[in-house]
């Protein structure tokens, strides 16, 4: 949990975030807050026209604005083309996470062959399996279970009750939130004479550096090859990623999305919440998939793909569905008329 800030002068925030400032650079900023709720000592940000009306009434000590909005306020301000990104950096500076205390809690169970860096933190009732390596300054929370032959990189943070199955690796500075399961068996079943035969899942799970994995998200291990989450991927809560998937670097996926096995998602993609992506697809770099979209085919070019039907009042929806049910018969009638017309012309 972030600790309270002692305050930083605005000019120092500008220097450390690499942005311009205007107005009183000596005003001390202690915290971040929304425009409409900020008070003395707080800095707020304006990222779009929807909230511009709050700019004139905010009680913040300073604001973060785009160049086009810099003249709309006399408050001390940071000026940047990306206020939200600047806000993120400022918030991290003002509200740093407390330093972890290195060491292994007495109730933790650490295998004799495990390698735990001296600067790492192992929380209460955590379990570290045989031949698993925990990197420098890694933080392993309470109740975390890491099986054998895993590699947890330096500065990783695994929050309470994360489970990491055998033969999984997590790169440096990655964050895994509570309840996530990394490397469980994929859904591999072969049907034979009306029954299911489990297919052994023999691959690994490879998580890159600077990845964030949300609470209760599940990432299956590979069936034969590996499941790979590349660098700087951001996964929201309650996402399911099937076996042998590859998620390209810098891709972000919102909550409750489901990705079936052996799908390859490119770099810099954005996938909305509750999107459902079928297996064995290739998703092009830079693709955007809207929330609740069901994707059954590969995307060969970047673009925005939307398959969700916007909500309507129930009566309007029922009328529309009644029309859609008649659409095929109407199509057949039109096609029959076209054939008759062509025959008459000949």
Please report, for the domain that includes residue 19, its CATH number. Answer: 3.40.1390.10
Q: Are residues 112 and 261 in the same domain?
A: yes
Are 159 and 86 members of one domain? no
| Same structural domain, 80 and 170 | no
Q: Is residue 167 part of a domain?
A: yes
- Does residue 85 fall inside a structural domain? yes
Whether 326 is covered by a domain: the verdict is yes
In a domain, 1, yes or no: no
* Residue 233 lies in domain: 103-305
- Does residue 3 sit within a domain? no
Asked whether residue 120 is domain-assigned, the answer is yes
Q: Does residue 87 share a domain with residue 113? A: no
Per-residue pLDDT tens listing for the chain (346 residues): 444 557 999 999 999 999 999 999 999 999 999 999 999 999 999 988 888 888 999 999 999 999 999 999 999 999 999 999 999 999 999 999 888 999 999 999 999 999 999 999 999 999 999 999 999 999 999 999 999 999 999 999 999 999 999 999 999 999 999 999 999 999 999 999 999 999 999 999 999 999 999 999 999 999 999 999 999 999 999 999 999 999 999 999 999 999 999 999 999 999 999 999 999 999 999 999 999 999 999 999 999 999 988 889 999 999 999 998 999 999 999 999 999 888 877 6
Helical spans, DSSP H, in the chain:
10-17, 83-94, 314-325, 327-345
144, 64: one domain: no
Domain count of the fold of the chain: 3
- Whether residues 263 and 132 share a domain: the answer is yes
Last residue of a domain, one of 68, 94, 120: 94
Whether residues 120 and 43 fall in one domain: no
Tell me the two tokens of residue 212: 């964030």
- pLDDT given at position 5: 53
Same domain, 300 and 169: yes
| Cβ contact 113:97 at 8 Å | no
- Given 32, 60, 94, the domain boundary residue is 94
Examine residue 2 and state whether it is found in any structural domain, yes or no: no
* Residue 171: alpha-carbon gap to chain centroid: 16
Question: Which ranges of 124-238 does DSSP label H, i.e. alpha helix?
Answer: none
Task: Kindly state the tokens that stand for 70.
Answer: 């810099």
pLDDT value for 119: 98
- Pairing of β 77-79 and β 20-22: antiparallel
299 occurs within a structural domain: yes
Residues acting as catalytic residues:
243
Are 78 and 157 within one domain? no
DSSP state of 69: G
Cα 102 to Cα 83: distance, rounded to the nearest angstrom: 36
Beta-carbon neighbour count of residue 55 at 10 Å? 18
State pTM to two decimals.
0.91
- Statement to judge: residues 61 and 202 lie in one domain: no
User: Do 255 and 319 share a domain, yes or no?
Assistant: no
Residues 261 and 189 in one domain: yes
């Amino acid at each position: 949990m972030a600790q309270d800030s002692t305050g930083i002068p605005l000019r120092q925030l500008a220097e450390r975030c690499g942005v311009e400032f205007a107005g009183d650079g000596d005003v001390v900023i202690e915290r971040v807050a929304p425009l409409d709720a900020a008070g003395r000592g707080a800095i707020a940000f304006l990222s779009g026209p929807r909230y511009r009306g709050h700019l004139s009434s905010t009680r913040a000590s300073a604001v973060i604005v785009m160049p086009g909005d810099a003249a709309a306020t006399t408050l001390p301000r940071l000026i940047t083309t990306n206020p939200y990104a600047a806000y993120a950096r400022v918030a991290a500076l003002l509200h740093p996470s407390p330093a972890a205390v290195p060491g292994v809690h007495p109730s933790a169970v650490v295998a004799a062959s495990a390698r735990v860096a001296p600067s790492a933190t192992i929380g209460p009732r955590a379990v570290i399996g045989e031949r698993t390596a925990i990197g420098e300054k890694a933080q392993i929370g309470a109740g975390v279970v890491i099986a054998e032959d895993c590699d947890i990189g330096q500065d990783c943070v695994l929050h309470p009750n994360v489970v990491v199955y055998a033969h999984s690796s997590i790169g440096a500075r990655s964050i895994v939130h509570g309840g996530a399961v990394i490397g469980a068996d994929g859904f591999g079943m072969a049907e034979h004479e009306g029954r299911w035969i489990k297919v052994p899942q023999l691959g690994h799970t490879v998580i890159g550096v600077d990845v964030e994995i949300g609470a209760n998200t599940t990432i299956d291990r590979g069936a034969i090859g590996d499941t790979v989450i590349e660098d700087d991927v951001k996964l929201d809560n309650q996402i399911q990623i099937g076996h042998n998937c590859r998620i390209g670097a810098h891709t972000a996926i919102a909550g409750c999305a489901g990705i079936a096995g052996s799908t390859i998602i490119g770099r810099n993609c954005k996938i909305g919440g509750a999107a459902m992506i079928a297996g064995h697809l290739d998703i092009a770099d830079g693709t955007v998939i809207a929330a609740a979209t069901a994707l059954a085919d590969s995307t060969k070019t970047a673009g925005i793909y939307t398959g969700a039907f916007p909500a309507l009042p129930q009566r309007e929806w029922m009328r529309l569905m009644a029309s859609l049910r008649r659409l095929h018969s109407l199509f057949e009638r039109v096609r029959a008329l076209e054939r008759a017309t062509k025959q008459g012309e000949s």
